[in-house]
Structure 1
Amino acid sequence: MEQEELEQNSSEEPSFFQKTWWMLIGGIFIGLLSAGVILLICRPPQGAAIILRPAPTTVPIAVHITGAVAEPGVYNLPVNSRVEDVIKKAGGTTANADINAVNMAAILEDGMQVNIPLKINAIVVYSDRSIPGYEVEEEETEENGEKQTSTSTVSYPININTATQAELETLPGIGPVTAQKIIEYRQENAFQIIEDIQKVSGIGPATFEKLKDFITVGN
């Protein structure tokens, strides 16, 4: 009798294989349930697009400026710079530049070339010292406040110790910014020889070669 009860109880207990199987099924079920909950919580709202944006860049752009500027050449500028910015980099426009023909607000692009045109009928001075003169327009204000335009002729070579801003701007490679620097420099230190003009910021050997035949110090 006792033997029969023992055999009956042992047959009702699950085997080791059955226990392992049920534990495996239970683990898989719990894992799938947990994964479903995580996906439900973390998924983006339906209809919301994921946009990949390029990383911002700080690499400067290179722009080539030519024409009626003090220092034509290639300059590096920040992205989204405008034509006005590269003109400033080049030392400003010359006295005979037609700035009304240029869109100063245009945005520059890498590799772009910007040309600053000359005014119609402008006289361009290069390296011929025999040129008789260069006509310069200057504005004078009368006592009643009205402005009257007068025209004067510049004869070369000009005295860089006494030349006006307008006269200095007629020199090759010299724009408004550099002309003002020349005036500021000579107020503190008079030019003793023409080579002294290279002491002015923005005037190097290349620019000096362009203008040396057109200047004097009056000695």
Structure 2
Amino acid sequence: MFNLTRTQQYLLLGLAAVLIILASFVYWRQLAPVSQAVVIEPPPGNELSGAGSAAVLSNETESEPTEIVVHVAGAVIKSGVYHVPEGSRVVDAITAAGGASAEADLDAINLAQPLIDGQKVWVPEVGEQSATGKGGSDSGVGVIGGDVGKININSASLAELQTLNGIGPSLAQRIIDYRTNSGPFRQVEDIKNVSGIGEKRFLQLKDYITVY
């Protein structure tokens, strides 16, 4: 019916072959199973793991110990200013300074006394008086200079406080109660916060008391 040249016949055959291949590809593509995305859910409880880790890190940061600065001098291996953890005691300050020297009289000071920021710890030599002017007192931690012989109102005992002019048993107990409930005195003027100690009585005491 159609008079086609040999070349045209070859072209038609090639086109038919291409159409057959395309049809086969579409057919098999439709028959192939459709893959589904697989969602892996975390085990129960893991949703909060990130928040929990953050909370732990936050708590660890908040619980980092703070430091205080103290000056250690006297009969120690290396006098100087040292940073020690808050809550440290006199013995820790002496350890930070390399320990006591062979001449140190450790029985003259209270090694268990808590430290406060800015405190100066003086370790006396054997035969040297402690800061309270009473050699061998277990409450004093020595300091250099004009404080020698003064009563440290942050550590003095009930009996030692009563050696001060105008301080009886009742007032001495109120001083101890105040520092126990409110923390150590930061300066000698703070003793006026104790009930019963006004400006007049403070003027009588100020030359005989110290804080460290």
Q: Normalization by structure 2: what TM-score?
A: 0.30
Between 1 and 2, higher relative CO (CA 8 Å, sep ≥ 6) is seen in 1
CA radius of gyration, larger in: 2
